[in-house]
Amino acid sequence: MSGPRVAVITFPGSLDDRDALRAVRLMGGTPVLVWHRDRDLGGADAVILPGGFSYGDHLRAGAIARFAPVMAAVAEHAERGGPVLGICNGFQILCEAGLLPGALTRNVGLAFVCRRIHVRCETSATVFTSTIAAGEVLPVPVKHGEGRFVADPETLARIEGEGRVVFRYCSPAGHLGGEWNPNGSTNHIAGIANDRGNVVGMMPHPEHAVDPDVGPTGGQPMFESLLQAVPAGV
């Protein structure tokens, strides 16, 4: 394997780290397993914070993981412009760490959701969507109990005004509506980016959507975007 090195962080309670490592390998990258107590990223070109229940979701989802030793290296990597993707619990961690705005709260109805859904790409201006046209619909799964994105009105207006919404929940044809929103997320937001487009958080699971033998392949374009945009060794 000679593609870009992609670090996948394992926290106590992570359960999608192996899936993320496999997805990176299947898509042509070089997966690098990094432990939460590590203080460097093993020379990685990009970082994935995977899904799961870090530290048992004590206090709040992601609230303790933000203090893990490795998060200082993740923050430094992001500050240098390095790609960082937070998936599900990883999205929650990025918000708790202040690397992304807003918060993820309990789903409307207080029920855990686990099913295939569709998301509409809203922008190509991120490292993870550079090969995806705005308006393109991707089939991916979700599985979370605290995935409802919320933000104060000023923050929400800034996110929307700056074009930092990356994905919205939608119908298979790309239409928006409550029936297609699995958790009641504000403005149907499924994923957002920082102002530079190198840090992205999303609740759906692209790492579970790369192998056609086991499910949808809506995650493939995200990994293709990353691996094409990040030369190995930078």
- Say which of 118, 144, 188, 205 is annotated catalytic: 205
The answer for residues whose C-beta is within 8 angstroms of residue 76's C-beta and 6 or more apart is none
Confidence category of residue 1, pLDDT binned at 50, 70, 90: low
Q: Give the pLDDT score at 198.
A: 96
Read off the tokens for 163: 């074009």
* Confidence band for 229, pLDDT divided at 50, 70 and 90: confident
As a whole number of angstroms, the longest Cα–Cα distance in the chain is 46
**Is residue 88 annotated as a catalytic residue, yes or no?**
yes
Contact (Cβ atoms closer than 8 angstroms) between residue 140 and residue 117: yes
- Per residue in 39-70, pLDDT tens? 999 999 999 999 999 988 888 888 999 999 99
Which tokens belong to 216?
């949808």
Q: For the segment 119-130, what is each residue's pLDDT rounded down to a tens digit?
A: 999 999 999 999
Write the CATH number of the domain with boundaries 5-229.
3.40.50.880
Residue that the structure tokens 């298979």 belong to: 172
Q: Which of 54, 132, 39 is nearest to 88 (CA)?
A: 54
H or E segment to which residue 222 belongs: helix 220-229
Catalytic residue among 96, 122, 146, 207: 207
**What distance in Å separates the CA atoms of residue 126 and residue 197, rounded to the nearest whole number?**
4
Which of left, alpha, beta for 35 (phi over 0: left; psi -120 to 50: alpha)? beta
* Mean pLDDT, residues 179-199 taken together: 97
Q: What pLDDT digit, counting tens, does each position of 6-29 carry?
A: 999 999 999 999 999 999 999 999
Which pLDDT score is estimated for 233? Answer: 45
Q: Is 205 a catalytic residue?
A: yes
User: Does the active-site annotation cover 175?
Assistant: no
pLDDT, average across residues 138-153: 97
Is pLDDT above 60 for 234?
A: no
Query: Of 36, 77, 88, 96, which residue is the catalytic one?
Result: 88
